[in-house]
Amino acid sequence: MKLAAQPKKIVSLSPSATEDLFAIGADSQVVAVDDQSNYPASAPKTALSGFKPDAEAIAKYNPDLVVVAADTSNIVEQLGKLNVPVLWFDAPNSLDDAYGQITALGAATGHADKAATEVAAMKQKITSAIAATKKPATPLKYYYEVGTPGNYSATSKTFIGSVFAQLGLANVADAADKTGGGYPQLSDEYLVTAAPDLVFLADTKCCQQTSAAVAARPGWSAVPAVKNAAKGTIVGLDDDIASRWGPRLADLVQQVSDAVNKAQG
């Protein structure tokens, strides 16, 4: 997107975009962020919602650019009627998509150079972490939990699943995704039979899941990840980092890489 002038009042309704904007040096231009944008702490968090956006509430900040993660409630059209430029970023399908969003934000906000530097740093960290990950002849199986109760998971078709695949891991949820939606619900029986070597918990904040809580689930004592829990095979992730695709994604990849290596140590 090319704007008539560098935006001076940006409203972000996307936690990922908020992290990107601050990372590329556009923080002084951000006047408001949505109620889920909790990082960095200095972000001007408001009651604005990205899930139920209100064009009139957004317009009160007199923005010359609004960044959204979805066109919920036809917010793009509504803001267009108010002559407010909108950048709409769907969830990425790959690392390259995530890098592309940072690059696009840099171009739109007048911080192309800093965005390029940030992307280069992310690529270097992630590439190094992937290269340093031990990849056995028979891939380690993993279960990635995005929500309980119900054992909801994310398959290799999702963005996070595509990242894990680059670490040489096999996703036990893939075979259970009959609809192809990417986020199947798995039964305890299925997971015990699937026997994941690693369990990654992306619901430690929302659902207070811990290694001990997983080990206490009926029948799970037979799961390899539980049997070898002393080796760190049940990994608690930061919910926010795991569900976003900003600069901190590099930290997530490093954490997963470390866990995979430790499990084989």
**Domains in the chain and their CATH numbers?**
10-121 (3.40.50.1980), 132-263 (3.40.50.1980)
Question: For 183-222, how does the pLDDT look when each residue is reduced to its tens digit (9 = 90+)?
Answer: 999 999 999 999 999 999 998 988 888 999 999 999 999 9
Question: For 96-119, how does the pLDDT look when each residue is reduced to its tens digit (9 = 90+)?
Answer: 999 999 999 999 999 999 999 999
91 has pLDDT over 70: yes
Residues 6+ apart with CB under 8 A from 209: 145, 148, 201, 203, 236
Helices (H) and strands (E) in the chain, counts: 11, 9
Residues 6+ apart with CB under 8 A from 153: 143, 144, 145, 146, 171, 172, 173, 176, 183, 184, 185, 186
Dmax (CA) of the chain: 61
Angle between helices 95-109 and 112-131 (to 10 degrees): 160
Give the ranges where 195-248 is alpha helix by DSSP (H): 211-215, 224-227, 239-242
- Note the pTM of the prediction, 2 decimals: 0.92
Going by their DSSP bridges, the two strands 141-147 and 152-153 should be labelled as: antiparallel
Average pLDDT for 133-160 = 94
How far is Cα 158 from Cα 153, in angstroms, rounded to an integer? 10
What are the structure tokens assigned to 18, written together?
């908020």
Instruction: Classify each residue of 223-252 as buried b or exposed e, where b means 16 or more C-beta atoms within 10 Å of its C-beta.
Output: bbbbeebeebbbbbbbbbbbbbbbbbbbeb
